[in-house]
């Protein structure tokens, strides 16, 4: 029997109702998946053994985003649109 479920912490919530008595041993087989950050889940060793390069992100260089963010000189000035609320 195959039943789909969602893992939340150490609990697996089944998406379908099943009729199995309490106390029955259940074996769970997890299929290959990809995590939110792109790391492979199950089967990682197989992919590395097949010659697929292991891509690792290098840490960002300090100061590499310099001049990418700009804030206007009048940023702290009151807005004309809210003038009536400030009176």
Tens-place pLDDT, residues 17-64? 888 898 988 888 888 777 666 666 554 444 455 555 556 778 888 888
Confidence band for 73, pLDDT divided at 50, 70 and 90? very high
Number of separate domains in the chain:
1
Confidence band for 4, pLDDT divided at 50, 70 and 90? confident
Classify residue 36: in a domain, yes or no: yes
Classify residue 9: in a domain, yes or no: yes
Torsion of CA 45, 46, 51, 56, to 10 degrees: -40
Classify residue 28: in a domain, yes or no: yes
Classify residue 44: in a domain, yes or no: yes
Q: Residue 6 is encoded by which pair of tokens?
A: 């969602």
Structural domain for 38, as ranges: 1-49
Classify residue 56: in a domain, yes or no: no
Q: Is 25 left (phi over 0), alpha (psi -120 to 50) or beta?
A: beta
Q: What is the pLDDT of residue 49?
A: 53
C-alpha to C-alpha distance for 54 and 43, rounded to whole angstroms: 13
C-alpha to C-alpha distance for 22 and 20, rounded to whole angstroms: 7
Classify residue 84: in a domain, yes or no: no
């Amino acid at each position: 029997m195959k039943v789909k479920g969602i893992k939340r912490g150490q609990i697996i919530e089944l998406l379908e109702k099943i009729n199995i008595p309490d106390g029955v041993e259940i074996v769970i087989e997890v299929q290959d998946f990809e995590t939110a950050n792109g790391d492979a889940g199950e089967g990682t060793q197989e992919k590395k053994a097949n010659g697929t390069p292991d891509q690792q992100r290098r840490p960002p260089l300090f100061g590499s985003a310099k001049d990418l963010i700009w804030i206007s000189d009048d940023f702290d000035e009151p807005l004309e649109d809210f003038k009536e609320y400030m009176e």
